Amino acid sequence: MSLRPRLRVLCVPLAAAALHLFGCQPVDGKADAKPAPARTEAAPTRTDVPPPAPAVAAPDTTPAPSDTAAPASEGSVVALVDAGAEPREPLRLKLTAGQEQVMLMTMRMGMAMEVGPNKMPKTDIPAMQMTMNLKVSEITGEGDIRSEFSLDKIEVLPDKTTPQAMVDQLESVLGTMNKMSGTSTITPRGIVKSADFNIPPDVNPQIKQTVESMRQQINQMSVPFPEEALGVGARWTVTQHLEQQGMKLQQVATWELKGREGDVVQLASTIVQTAAPQAIEAPGMPAGAKVNLDRLDSTGSGTTQVDLTHVAPVKGDMKLTSSIAMTTDANGMKMPMTMEMDMNLEISGK
């Protein structure tokens, strides 16, 4: 099997992690978990729960479901670390039914791979740009926010170093994602209560798993805020135990309130993903093939500007690096594989 489909699938969990830094959080199964006391250090991050790793299986060619609820994450907790300086005020979304927002996301990636004795030098993937349309459809009697989203456009941005054939190939594959849409319901704190995702039946089989992995991120455009009042310098963590592409993971995002002017807040964030050695049981894996994750470490940092009167962040940028080591076993023949990846992501909304 060609490594090209594997590389495409690898992009998914890391892109998902990047989206977390912009406030795209999975459904919070424990939104009201008791937070840590103010001005105390958060508990150490567990390292025995694994993160999103590349699915090395052959692409699943079964039809994608057209309308499915995004699964809830297990053990997702929002915890206050430091309430920040006075004056303090709770952060809450202030949205109205009918308002719309367009969000533009541009992603640039580069990766290097080594399979056994064979090395693939670092390859820069052409920049990909997605245009999403978000609309608040209803504010419930409880104050929850119901919104709709659609992926209106996804394109590859050519450059002088990228062969046109590669651009054309990527555009052909990604173009099947243009009709994706969905809905979500979140609280004024940005805690997601439910989410549904509509996947086009004709989505390219090579990226079906990619689309599946984006379920929990792309349709939940909000930063989860603590219950407590916050001032400049406030910090809180969002810890999630997730499962993607047949692997379990732990992800810890740390947010910091850098500044506030009216309804506009400036946030900084860091993210850490870790994985313990484990067997990968991805769908579509060839009979007799085994893949074990030996190591996965991902770290990232970024900034986000949130307007509390908007359904999604209005501006952001981040960088993410990841190092992955796996061992494949096909009919008793074992082969080590390592991958190094870096990613830069920018978003803007209006």
- Among 304, 240, 245, 247, smallest CA distance to 272 is for 240
- Among 1, 2, 10, smallest CA distance to 326 is for 10
Question: Residues 6 or more apart from 169 whose CB is under 8 A from it?
Answer: none
In the chain, what is the straight-line distance between the N-terminal and C-terminal CA atoms, in Å? 43
pLDDT value at residue 58 = 33
Question: Residues 6 or more apart from 293 whose CB is under 8 A from it?
Answer: 50, 53, 247, 275, 277, 278, 279, 280, 324, 325, 326
- Among 148, 117, 116, smallest CA distance to 132 is for 148
pLDDT value at residue 42 = 37
pLDDT value at residue 332 = 84
Q: Hey, which bits of the chain come out as E strands?
A: 68-69, 74-82, 100-115, 118-139, 145-157, 181-186, 192-198, 235-244, 247-261, 264-275, 278-280, 289-307, 315-330, 333-349
Q: What is the pLDDT along the chain (350 residues), one digit of tens a residue?
A: 332 323 333 344 444 444 445 544 444 444 444 433 433 333 333 333 333 333 333 333 333 333 333 333 344 689 999 999 999 999 999 999 999 999 999 999 999 999 999 998 888 888 999 899 999 999 999 999 999 989 898 889 878 877 888 888 888 878 777 778 888 899 999 888 887 878 777 777 656 655 555 554 543 356 889 999 999 999 999 988 877 667 788 889 999 999 999 999 999 999 999 989 999 876 566 777 888 999 989 999 999 999 999 988 899 999 999 999 999 898 888 999 999 999 999 999 87
For the whole prediction, is pTM greater than 0.95? no
**C-alpha distances in angstroms, 272 versus 29, 251, 258?**
20, 6, 20
Domain ranges of the chain: 3-349
pLDDT value at residue 301 = 95
Amino acid symbol at 76:
S
Question: Residues 6 or more apart from 8 whose CB is under 8 A from it?
Answer: 173, 206, 207, 210
DSSP 8-state secondary structure symbol assigned to residue 246: T
Match 């379990």 to its residue by tokens: 248
Instruction: Please confirm whether the linkage preceding 87 is cis (ω < 30° from 0).
Output: yes
